[in-house]
Amino acid sequence: MELLRQASWLIWKDLLLEIRRRESLVTMFFFGTLLLFVFHFAFEMPRERAPEMAPGLLWLAFLFTGTLGLTQLFQPERENHCLDALLLSPMDRAALYLAKVFFNLVLMLVVELVVLPLFWVLFNLDSWRLLPAIFMVAFLGTLGFCVLGTLFSAVTMRARARELLLPLILFPLMIPVILATIRTMEVILRSGDASEALDWLRLLLGFDVIFLTAGFLVFEWVIEA
Amino acid sequence: MERAQPELPQEKSVLHVAIRSLAKAYGLLWALREVTLELKPGDCVALLGPNGAGKTTLLKLLCGLVHPTSGAIELDGENLLGDPSRLRSLIGFLSPSEHFYENLTVAENLRFFVSLYGKRESTAEVTRILETVALDSRANEYVGSLSSGMKCRLAIAKWLLLQPKLLLLDEPYGMLDGSGVDLLEAYLRGLAGSGGIVLMASHHVSRVLALCNRALILHRGKLIFDEPKQEPWLTFQRAFGEFLPRGEQWSS
Protein backbone atom coordinates (compact mmCIF):
# COMPACT_ATOMS: atom_id res chain seq x y z
CA MET A 1 0.00 0.00 0.00
CA GLU A 2 2.86 2.37 0.85
CA LEU A 3 4.31 1.66 -2.60
CA LEU A 4 1.03 2.62 -4.29
CA ARG A 5 0.66 5.72 -2.12
CA GLN A 6 4.14 6.89 -3.08
CA ALA A 7 3.55 6.02 -6.74
CA SER A 8 0.30 8.01 -6.75
CA TRP A 9 2.11 11.09 -5.38
CA LEU A 10 4.75 10.73 -8.09
CA ILE A 11 2.05 10.37 -10.78
CA TRP A 12 0.27 13.45 -9.40
CA LYS A 13 3.53 15.38 -9.65
CA ASP A 14 4.26 14.22 -13.23
CA LEU A 15 0.73 14.95 -14.47
CA LEU A 16 0.75 18.39 -12.84
CA LEU A 17 4.12 19.21 -14.41
CA GLU A 18 2.92 18.00 -17.82
CA ILE A 19 -0.27 20.09 -17.59
CA ARG A 20 1.82 23.15 -16.75
CA ARG A 21 4.76 22.61 -19.13
CA ARG A 22 2.91 20.89 -22.00
CA GLU A 23 6.21 19.60 -23.36
CA SER A 24 5.89 15.87 -23.91
CA LEU A 25 2.24 15.48 -24.94
CA VAL A 26 2.16 18.33 -27.45
CA THR A 27 5.44 17.22 -29.07
CA MET A 28 4.33 13.60 -29.23
CA PHE A 29 0.92 14.50 -30.63
CA PHE A 30 2.30 16.67 -33.44
CA PHE A 31 5.05 14.20 -34.27
CA GLY A 32 2.58 11.29 -34.38
CA THR A 33 0.14 13.07 -36.69
CA LEU A 34 3.01 14.39 -38.84
CA LEU A 35 4.29 10.83 -39.34
CA LEU A 36 0.81 9.71 -40.43
CA PHE A 37 0.68 12.43 -43.07
CA VAL A 38 4.17 11.45 -44.28
CA PHE A 39 3.05 7.81 -44.54
CA HIS A 40 -0.12 8.91 -46.28
CA PHE A 41 1.81 10.71 -49.01
CA ALA A 42 4.60 8.10 -49.21
CA PHE A 43 2.55 4.89 -49.40
CA GLU A 44 -0.28 3.75 -51.58
CA MET A 45 -2.32 1.30 -49.50
CA PRO A 46 -5.12 -0.54 -51.29
CA ARG A 47 -7.81 -1.86 -48.94
CA GLU A 48 -6.96 -5.52 -49.57
CA ARG A 49 -3.35 -4.88 -48.45
CA ALA A 50 -4.37 -2.97 -45.30
CA PRO A 51 -4.04 -5.99 -42.93
CA GLU A 52 -0.37 -6.48 -43.80
CA MET A 53 0.63 -2.81 -44.11
CA ALA A 54 -1.44 -0.92 -41.55
CA PRO A 55 -0.05 -2.58 -38.35
CA GLY A 56 3.55 -1.97 -39.40
CA LEU A 57 2.95 1.67 -40.29
CA LEU A 58 0.94 2.27 -37.13
CA TRP A 59 3.67 0.78 -34.99
CA LEU A 60 6.34 2.80 -36.67
CA ALA A 61 4.38 5.91 -35.73
CA PHE A 62 3.84 4.70 -32.13
CA LEU A 63 7.45 3.64 -31.74
CA PHE A 64 8.96 6.94 -32.88
CA THR A 65 6.39 8.99 -30.99
CA GLY A 66 6.91 6.92 -27.86
CA THR A 67 10.69 7.24 -28.07
CA LEU A 68 10.27 11.00 -28.19
CA GLY A 69 8.27 10.79 -24.96
CA LEU A 70 10.82 8.48 -23.34
CA THR A 71 13.71 10.87 -23.92
CA GLN A 72 11.73 13.51 -21.96
CA LEU A 73 10.53 11.12 -19.24
CA PHE A 74 13.17 11.94 -16.61
CA GLN A 75 13.68 15.56 -17.70
CA PRO A 76 12.01 17.02 -14.55
CA GLU A 77 14.29 14.86 -12.40
CA ARG A 78 17.39 16.00 -14.31
CA GLU A 79 16.61 19.66 -13.62
CA ASN A 80 17.77 21.06 -10.27
CA HIS A 81 19.06 17.63 -9.19
CA CYS A 82 15.51 16.59 -8.30
CA LEU A 83 16.45 12.94 -8.76
CA ASP A 84 18.88 13.34 -5.83
CA ALA A 85 16.02 14.75 -3.76
CA LEU A 86 13.91 11.69 -4.62
CA LEU A 87 16.77 9.29 -3.88
CA LEU A 88 17.44 10.99 -0.54
CA SER A 89 13.95 10.08 0.58
CA PRO A 90 13.01 6.65 1.95
CA MET A 91 10.69 6.22 -1.04
CA ASP A 92 10.57 2.73 -2.54
CA ARG A 93 12.47 3.01 -5.85
CA ALA A 94 9.91 0.71 -7.50
CA ALA A 95 7.27 3.41 -6.84
CA LEU A 96 9.21 5.74 -9.14
CA TYR A 97 9.33 3.02 -11.80
CA LEU A 98 5.59 2.32 -11.58
CA ALA A 99 4.76 6.03 -11.66
CA LYS A 100 6.92 6.68 -14.72
CA VAL A 101 5.49 3.63 -16.55
CA PHE A 102 1.95 4.80 -15.79
CA PHE A 103 2.66 8.40 -16.80
CA ASN A 104 4.31 7.37 -20.07
CA LEU A 105 1.45 4.93 -20.77
CA VAL A 106 -1.13 7.69 -20.28
CA LEU A 107 0.73 10.03 -22.66
CA MET A 108 1.03 7.38 -25.35
CA LEU A 109 -2.58 6.22 -25.04
CA VAL A 110 -3.83 9.81 -25.38
CA VAL A 111 -1.78 10.17 -28.59
CA GLU A 112 -2.98 6.77 -29.87
CA LEU A 113 -6.61 7.73 -29.24
CA VAL A 114 -6.14 10.46 -31.85
CA VAL A 115 -3.68 8.75 -34.19
CA LEU A 116 -5.64 5.49 -34.66
CA PRO A 117 -8.90 7.03 -36.02
CA LEU A 118 -6.85 9.51 -38.05
CA PHE A 119 -5.00 6.60 -39.66
CA TRP A 120 -8.33 5.01 -40.61
CA VAL A 121 -9.51 8.28 -42.13
CA LEU A 122 -6.28 9.05 -44.02
CA PHE A 123 -6.01 5.57 -45.54
CA ASN A 124 -9.75 5.36 -46.15
CA LEU A 125 -10.14 2.05 -44.25
CA ASP A 126 -13.68 0.73 -43.77
CA SER A 127 -13.17 -1.69 -40.85
CA TRP A 128 -14.25 0.82 -38.17
CA ARG A 129 -15.90 -1.89 -36.04
CA LEU A 130 -12.42 -3.42 -35.48
CA LEU A 131 -11.02 -0.22 -34.05
CA PRO A 132 -11.78 -1.06 -30.36
CA ALA A 133 -10.02 -4.44 -30.72
CA ILE A 134 -7.06 -2.80 -32.48
CA PHE A 135 -6.90 -0.21 -29.70
CA MET A 136 -6.83 -2.96 -27.05
CA VAL A 137 -3.93 -4.64 -28.85
CA ALA A 138 -2.20 -1.26 -29.17
CA PHE A 139 -2.70 -0.84 -25.40
CA LEU A 140 -0.93 -4.14 -24.65
CA GLY A 141 1.87 -3.31 -27.09
CA THR A 142 2.21 0.16 -25.62
CA LEU A 143 2.38 -1.32 -22.11
CA GLY A 144 5.29 -3.51 -23.22
CA PHE A 145 6.96 -0.50 -24.80
CA CYS A 146 6.50 1.60 -21.66
CA VAL A 147 7.74 -0.97 -19.13
CA LEU A 148 10.90 -1.63 -21.13
CA GLY A 149 11.30 1.97 -22.33
CA THR A 150 11.05 3.43 -18.81
CA LEU A 151 13.77 1.09 -17.59
CA PHE A 152 16.15 2.01 -20.42
CA SER A 153 15.24 5.66 -20.19
CA ALA A 154 16.57 5.46 -16.62
CA VAL A 155 19.66 3.57 -17.81
CA THR A 156 20.52 6.26 -20.38
CA MET A 157 19.36 9.21 -18.26
CA ARG A 158 22.89 10.27 -17.28
CA ALA A 159 24.40 9.61 -20.72
CA ARG A 160 25.37 12.61 -22.83
CA ALA A 161 23.98 11.20 -26.10
CA ARG A 162 20.88 9.69 -24.48
CA GLU A 163 18.58 10.63 -27.39
CA LEU A 164 20.74 8.48 -29.69
CA LEU A 165 21.56 5.78 -27.20
CA LEU A 166 18.02 5.04 -26.05
CA PRO A 167 16.58 3.78 -29.38
CA LEU A 168 19.80 1.88 -30.12
CA ILE A 169 19.41 -0.12 -26.90
CA LEU A 170 15.63 -0.23 -26.77
CA PHE A 171 14.55 -1.17 -30.29
CA PRO A 172 16.36 -4.54 -30.51
CA LEU A 173 14.93 -5.55 -27.13
CA MET A 174 11.48 -4.42 -28.22
CA ILE A 175 11.38 -6.87 -31.14
CA PRO A 176 9.30 -9.55 -29.33
CA VAL A 177 6.68 -6.96 -28.31
CA ILE A 178 6.61 -5.29 -31.75
CA LEU A 179 6.36 -8.64 -33.52
CA ALA A 180 3.55 -9.93 -31.29
CA THR A 181 1.61 -6.65 -31.56
CA ILE A 182 1.90 -6.38 -35.34
CA ARG A 183 0.96 -10.05 -35.88
CA THR A 184 -2.05 -9.72 -33.53
CA MET A 185 -3.27 -6.62 -35.37
CA GLU A 186 -2.69 -8.31 -38.72
CA VAL A 187 -4.76 -11.38 -37.76
CA ILE A 188 -7.58 -9.18 -36.42
CA LEU A 189 -7.66 -7.01 -39.56
CA ARG A 190 -7.51 -10.04 -41.85
CA SER A 191 -10.07 -12.24 -40.10
CA GLY A 192 -12.17 -9.56 -38.43
CA ASP A 193 -12.17 -11.67 -35.26
CA ALA A 194 -9.98 -11.03 -32.20
CA SER A 195 -10.34 -14.63 -30.98
CA GLU A 196 -8.26 -15.84 -33.95
CA ALA A 197 -5.29 -13.93 -32.60
CA LEU A 198 -5.33 -15.48 -29.13
CA ASP A 199 -1.92 -17.14 -29.45
CA TRP A 200 -0.22 -13.88 -30.36
CA LEU A 201 -2.19 -12.06 -27.65
CA ARG A 202 -0.99 -14.54 -25.02
CA LEU A 203 2.57 -14.06 -26.19
CA LEU A 204 2.18 -10.28 -26.03
CA LEU A 205 0.69 -10.46 -22.55
CA GLY A 206 3.52 -12.79 -21.48
CA PHE A 207 6.16 -10.32 -22.67
CA ASP A 208 4.38 -7.50 -20.83
CA VAL A 209 4.37 -9.45 -17.57
CA ILE A 210 8.01 -10.56 -17.94
CA PHE A 211 9.28 -7.07 -18.79
CA LEU A 212 7.22 -5.44 -16.03
CA THR A 213 8.52 -7.90 -13.43
CA ALA A 214 12.11 -7.51 -14.62
CA GLY A 215 11.82 -3.71 -14.64
CA PHE A 216 10.24 -3.69 -11.18
CA LEU A 217 13.07 -5.82 -9.78
CA VAL A 218 16.09 -4.12 -11.34
CA PHE A 219 14.96 -0.48 -11.35
CA GLU A 220 16.43 0.25 -7.90
CA TRP A 221 19.82 -0.97 -9.06
CA VAL A 222 19.55 1.04 -12.29
CA ILE A 223 18.44 4.35 -10.74
CA GLU A 224 21.02 4.28 -7.94
CA ALA A 225 23.94 3.23 -10.17
CA MET B 1 6.85 41.80 11.87
CA GLU B 2 8.45 39.27 14.21
CA ARG B 3 9.01 35.92 12.51
CA ALA B 4 8.38 32.64 14.29
CA GLN B 5 11.51 30.82 15.50
CA PRO B 6 12.32 27.39 13.98
CA GLU B 7 10.58 24.72 16.00
CA LEU B 8 12.83 22.13 17.60
CA PRO B 9 12.11 18.41 17.38
CA GLN B 10 9.55 17.36 20.00
CA GLU B 11 11.29 14.21 21.14
CA LYS B 12 14.91 13.95 22.21
CA SER B 13 16.65 12.54 19.13
CA VAL B 14 19.51 10.14 19.67
CA LEU B 15 21.52 8.75 16.84
CA HIS B 16 25.05 7.42 16.74
CA VAL B 17 26.91 7.46 13.46
CA ALA B 18 29.99 5.30 13.00
CA ILE B 19 32.08 5.60 9.86
CA ARG B 20 34.58 2.79 9.45
CA SER B 21 37.47 2.79 6.94
CA LEU B 22 35.31 4.60 4.41
CA ALA B 23 36.80 4.98 0.95
CA LYS B 24 35.44 6.13 -2.37
CA ALA B 25 37.13 5.99 -5.76
CA TYR B 26 35.85 7.57 -8.96
CA GLY B 27 37.63 5.45 -11.51
CA LEU B 28 41.32 5.70 -10.66
CA LEU B 29 40.88 8.78 -8.48
CA TRP B 30 40.47 8.20 -4.75
CA ALA B 31 38.16 10.95 -3.49
CA LEU B 32 38.15 9.56 0.05
CA ARG B 33 40.58 7.18 1.76
CA GLU B 34 40.18 5.19 4.95
CA VAL B 35 38.08 7.72 6.85
CA THR B 36 37.10 6.51 10.29
CA LEU B 37 35.16 8.65 12.73
CA GLU B 38 32.19 8.70 15.06
CA LEU B 39 29.46 11.29 15.37
CA LYS B 40 27.62 11.42 18.68
CA PRO B 41 24.24 12.94 19.58
CA GLY B 42 24.59 16.70 19.98
CA ASP B 43 27.63 16.94 17.72
CA CYS B 44 27.74 20.02 15.54
CA VAL B 45 30.72 19.38 13.32
CA ALA B 46 32.53 21.64 10.86
CA LEU B 47 33.88 19.77 7.85
CA LEU B 48 36.74 21.79 6.43
CA GLY B 49 39.36 21.43 3.77
CA PRO B 50 40.46 22.82 0.41
CA ASN B 51 38.60 22.26 -2.85
CA GLY B 52 38.71 18.61 -3.91
CA ALA B 53 39.46 17.39 -0.39
CA GLY B 54 36.49 14.99 -0.43
CA LYS B 55 34.00 16.97 1.71
CA THR B 56 31.03 16.67 -0.67
CA THR B 57 31.87 13.03 -1.36
CA LEU B 58 31.79 12.30 2.37
CA LEU B 59 28.42 14.07 2.73
CA LYS B 60 26.97 12.21 -0.27
CA LEU B 61 28.20 8.89 1.12
CA LEU B 62 26.60 9.66 4.47
CA CYS B 63 23.21 10.37 2.93
CA GLY B 64 23.36 7.33 0.64
CA LEU B 65 23.49 9.24 -2.66
CA VAL B 66 26.83 7.64 -3.44
CA HIS B 67 27.92 4.12 -2.57
CA PRO B 68 31.31 3.58 -0.93
CA THR B 69 34.07 1.65 -2.67
CA SER B 70 34.94 0.11 0.68
CA GLY B 71 34.17 0.63 4.36
CA ALA B 72 30.89 0.99 6.19
CA ILE B 73 28.55 3.62 7.61
CA GLU B 74 26.50 2.57 10.61
CA LEU B 75 23.58 4.45 12.07
CA ASP B 76 22.72 3.17 15.54
CA GLY B 77 24.66 0.00 14.68
CA GLU B 78 22.78 -0.64 11.42
CA ASN B 79 24.59 -0.55 8.11
CA LEU B 80 23.31 2.29 5.91
CA LEU B 81 23.53 0.02 2.88
CA GLY B 82 21.62 -2.75 4.66
CA ASP B 83 18.27 -1.14 5.42
CA PRO B 84 18.54 2.19 3.61
CA SER B 85 14.84 2.91 3.44
CA ARG B 86 14.30 3.18 7.20
CA LEU B 87 17.63 4.91 7.84
CA ARG B 88 17.18 7.44 5.01
CA SER B 89 14.23 9.01 6.79
CA LEU B 90 16.65 9.97 9.61
CA ILE B 91 19.01 11.87 7.31
CA GLY B 92 18.65 15.33 5.79
CA PHE B 93 20.92 16.90 3.16
CA LEU B 94 20.92 20.61 2.46
CA SER B 95 23.03 21.29 -0.60
CA PRO B 96 23.59 24.16 -3.04
CA SER B 97 21.72 22.16 -5.71
CA GLU B 98 18.15 23.30 -5.49
CA HIS B 99 16.38 19.93 -5.27
CA PHE B 100 12.92 21.36 -6.07
CA TYR B 101 10.61 21.16 -9.10
CA GLU B 102 10.46 24.60 -10.70
CA ASN B 103 6.94 24.19 -12.09
CA LEU B 104 5.41 23.19 -8.76
CA THR B 105 4.53 25.86 -6.24
CA VAL B 106 6.38 26.29 -2.96
CA ALA B 107 3.58 24.59 -1.01
CA GLU B 108 3.16 21.79 -3.59
CA ASN B 109 6.88 21.01 -3.46
CA LEU B 110 6.79 20.78 0.33
CA ARG B 111 3.69 18.58 0.37
CA PHE B 112 5.13 16.32 -2.34
CA PHE B 113 8.49 15.72 -0.66
CA VAL B 114 6.99 15.35 2.80
CA SER B 115 4.58 12.72 1.43
CA LEU B 116 7.53 10.63 0.16
CA TYR B 117 8.75 10.41 3.77
CA GLY B 118 5.45 8.83 4.78
CA LYS B 119 4.31 11.97 6.61
CA ARG B 120 1.14 13.90 6.04
CA GLU B 121 1.38 17.54 6.96
CA SER B 122 -1.73 19.68 7.11
CA THR B 123 -2.00 22.87 5.10
CA ALA B 124 -1.85 24.79 8.40
CA GLU B 125 1.42 23.06 9.32
CA VAL B 126 2.95 23.84 5.93
CA THR B 127 1.80 27.47 6.23
CA ARG B 128 3.29 27.72 9.73
CA ILE B 129 6.66 26.39 8.56
CA LEU B 130 6.61 28.75 5.57
CA GLU B 131 5.96 31.62 7.98
CA THR B 132 9.01 30.54 9.96
CA VAL B 133 11.23 30.82 6.89
CA ALA B 134 9.48 34.00 5.69
CA LEU B 135 8.06 32.38 2.57
CA ASP B 136 4.38 32.36 3.55
CA SER B 137 3.57 35.11 1.05
CA ARG B 138 5.16 33.01 -1.76
CA ALA B 139 3.40 29.72 -0.91
CA ASN B 140 1.44 29.63 -4.17
CA GLU B 141 4.22 30.82 -6.46
CA TYR B 142 6.28 28.51 -8.63
CA VAL B 143 9.68 27.63 -7.22
CA GLY B 144 11.16 28.75 -10.55
CA SER B 145 10.23 32.33 -9.67
CA LEU B 146 12.16 32.30 -6.36
CA SER B 147 15.65 33.67 -5.88
CA SER B 148 18.49 31.33 -4.88
CA GLY B 149 18.31 32.54 -1.29
CA MET B 150 14.57 31.86 -1.14
CA LYS B 151 15.13 28.36 -2.51
CA CYS B 152 17.65 27.83 0.28
CA ARG B 153 15.01 28.98 2.80
CA LEU B 154 12.59 26.53 1.21
CA ALA B 155 15.13 23.75 1.70
CA ILE B 156 15.35 24.74 5.38
CA ALA B 157 11.54 24.60 5.55
CA LYS B 158 11.59 21.09 4.10
CA TRP B 159 13.98 19.81 6.76
CA LEU B 160 12.09 21.68 9.49
CA LEU B 161 9.02 19.69 8.46
CA LEU B 162 10.87 16.38 8.15
CA GLN B 163 12.96 16.75 11.33
CA PRO B 164 15.96 14.56 10.45
CA LYS B 165 18.26 13.34 13.22
CA LEU B 166 21.38 13.77 11.11
CA LEU B 167 21.56 16.92 8.99
CA LEU B 168 24.31 17.26 6.40
CA LEU B 169 24.98 20.67 4.90
CA ASP B 170 27.13 21.48 1.89
CA GLU B 171 28.09 25.17 1.64
CA PRO B 172 24.83 26.45 3.13
CA TYR B 173 25.94 30.07 3.53
CA GLY B 174 26.53 30.90 -0.13
CA MET B 175 22.97 31.94 -1.00
CA LEU B 176 21.50 33.15 2.30
CA ASP B 177 21.09 36.76 3.37
CA GLY B 178 21.61 37.92 6.96
CA SER B 179 18.21 36.88 8.31
CA GLY B 180 18.47 33.59 6.39
CA VAL B 181 21.80 32.85 8.10
CA ASP B 182 20.24 33.65 11.50
CA LEU B 183 17.33 31.34 10.71
CA LEU B 184 19.63 28.51 9.62
CA GLU B 185 21.90 28.87 12.64
CA ALA B 186 18.97 28.95 15.06
CA TYR B 187 17.68 25.74 13.47
CA LEU B 188 21.11 24.04 13.61
CA ARG B 189 21.64 25.05 17.26
CA GLY B 190 18.18 23.71 18.07
CA LEU B 191 18.79 20.44 16.26
CA ALA B 192 22.17 19.82 17.94
CA GLY B 193 20.72 20.93 21.29
CA SER B 194 17.96 18.36 21.06
CA GLY B 195 20.45 15.53 20.44
CA GLY B 196 20.59 15.63 16.67
CA ILE B 197 23.83 15.65 14.67
CA VAL B 198 24.92 18.43 12.31
CA LEU B 199 27.78 17.98 9.84
CA MET B 200 28.49 21.09 7.81
CA ALA B 201 30.99 21.53 4.98
CA SER B 202 31.84 25.15 4.33
CA HIS B 203 34.61 27.54 3.38
CA HIS B 204 33.21 30.20 5.75
CA VAL B 205 35.59 28.97 8.44
CA SER B 206 35.02 31.58 11.14
CA ARG B 207 31.25 31.33 10.81
CA VAL B 208 31.06 27.54 11.03
CA LEU B 209 33.55 27.38 13.85
CA ALA B 210 31.50 29.90 15.83
CA LEU B 211 28.56 27.49 15.55
CA CYS B 212 30.21 24.06 15.74
CA ASN B 213 31.69 22.23 18.72
CA ARG B 214 34.08 20.06 16.71
CA ALA B 215 36.13 20.36 13.52
CA LEU B 216 37.28 17.86 10.92
CA ILE B 217 39.79 18.67 8.22
CA LEU B 218 39.98 16.60 5.07
CA HIS B 219 42.94 16.87 2.72
CA ARG B 220 43.27 14.82 -0.48
CA GLY B 221 40.62 12.42 0.76
CA LYS B 222 42.24 11.79 4.14
CA LEU B 223 41.01 12.88 7.54
CA ILE B 224 43.99 14.83 8.91
CA PHE B 225 42.35 16.57 11.86
CA ASP B 226 39.51 15.72 14.26
CA GLU B 227 39.23 17.63 17.53
CA PRO B 228 36.58 19.23 19.74
CA LYS B 229 36.64 23.03 19.79
CA GLN B 230 38.78 24.61 22.47
CA GLU B 231 40.37 27.94 23.34
CA PRO B 232 43.12 28.54 22.40
CA TRP B 233 43.19 26.11 19.51
CA LEU B 234 46.76 26.00 18.37
CA THR B 235 46.57 22.53 16.83
CA PHE B 236 43.74 23.70 14.56
CA GLN B 237 45.64 26.83 13.67
CA ARG B 238 48.63 24.74 12.64
CA ALA B 239 46.57 22.16 10.73
CA PHE B 240 44.38 24.62 8.89
CA GLY B 241 46.95 27.38 8.36
CA GLU B 242 48.24 26.00 5.07
CA PHE B 243 44.75 26.12 3.49
CA LEU B 244 44.19 29.81 4.23
CA PRO B 245 44.87 32.48 1.59
CA ARG B 246 48.49 33.63 1.51
CA GLY B 247 49.30 36.04 4.32
CA GLU B 248 46.08 35.32 6.21
CA GLN B 249 45.93 33.76 9.64
CA TRP B 250 43.01 32.14 11.34
CA SER B 251 42.21 33.46 14.75
CA SER B 252 39.47 32.41 17.10
For the stretch A89-133, pLDDT in tens is: 999 999 999 999 999 999 999 999 999 999 999 888 888 898 999
Q: Is B63 an 8 Å CB contact of chain A?
A: yes
Q: Is residue A209 very low, low, confident or very high in pLDDT (cuts 50, 70, 90)?
A: very high
B153-156: long-range pairs with CB below 8 Å, 24+:
B153/B180, B153/B183, B154/B100, B154/B106, B154/B109, B154/B110, B155/B94, B155/B98, B155/B99, B155/B100, B156/B6, B156/B94, B156/B180, B156/B183, B156/B184, B156/B187
Min Cα–Cα distance to chain A from B91, Å: 8
Output the pLDDT for position A109: 96
Contact list in A for residue B98 (CB cut-off 8 A) is 80-81
Min Cα–Cα distance to chain A from B161, Å: 13
CB–CB of A185/A53 below 8 Å?
no
pLDDT tens-digit map of A24-58: 999 999 999 999 999 999 988 887 888 888 999 99
Phi then psi dihedrals of residue B39, to 5 deg: -120, 125
The minimal CB distance from B118 to the residues A2, A17, A82 is found for A2
Q: Is A47 an 8 Å CB contact of chain B?
A: no
Q: Is A21 an 8 Å CB contact of chain B?
A: yes
Output the pLDDT for position B31: 95
- A178, containing H or E segment: helix A162-191
Taking CA–CA distances from B87, the nearest residue in chain A reads A90
Output the pLDDT for position A162: 84
How many Cβ atoms from other residues are within 10 Å of residue A169's Cβ?
16
The minimal CB distance from A90 to the residues B89, B98, B99 is found for B89
Output the pLDDT for position B1: 44
Biggest CA–CA distance in chain B, Å, is 55
CB–CB of A104/A68 below 8 Å?
no
For A95, residues 6+ apart whose C-beta sits below 8 A from its C-beta are: A3, A4, A6, A7, A10
The minimal CB distance from B93 to the residues A12, A13, A88 is found for A88
Cross-chain residue pair B65–A13, CB shorter than 8 Å: no
Residue B54 region by backbone torsions, left for phi larger than 0, else alpha for psi between -120 and 50, else beta = left
pTM of the model: 0.90
Q: Is A163 an 8 Å CB contact of chain B?
A: no
CB–CB of B66/B80 below 8 Å?
no
Min Cα–Cα distance to chain B from A225, Å: 9
Q: How far is Cα A84 from Cα A114, in angstroms, rounded to an integer?
A: 36
Min Cα–Cα distance to chain B from A185, Å: 40
Supply the DSSP symbol for B230. Answer: -
Q: Is B67 an 8 Å CB contact of chain A?
A: yes
Helices (H), chain B: 55-62, 84-88, 106-116, 123-132, 148-162, 178-193, 205-211, 234-241
How many Cβ atoms from other residues are within 10 Å of residue B190's Cβ?
16
Q: Is B245 an 8 Å CB contact of chain A?
A: no
Q: How far is Cα A206 from Cα A172, in angstroms, rounded to an integer?
A: 18
Q: Block means of pLDDT (10 residues each) for chain B, length 252 residues?
A: 54 79 94 94 93 94 93 91 83 87 95 90 87 93 93 93 94 86 93 94 89 92 90 80 67 58
Q: Is residue A83 very low, low, confident or very high in pLDDT (cuts 50, 70, 90)?
A: very high
Nearest Cα to Cα of residue B3 among B122, B141, B113, B153: B153
Contact list in A for residue B103 (CB cut-off 8 A) is 16-17, 20-21, 76
Cross-chain residue pair A13–B104, CB shorter than 8 Å: yes
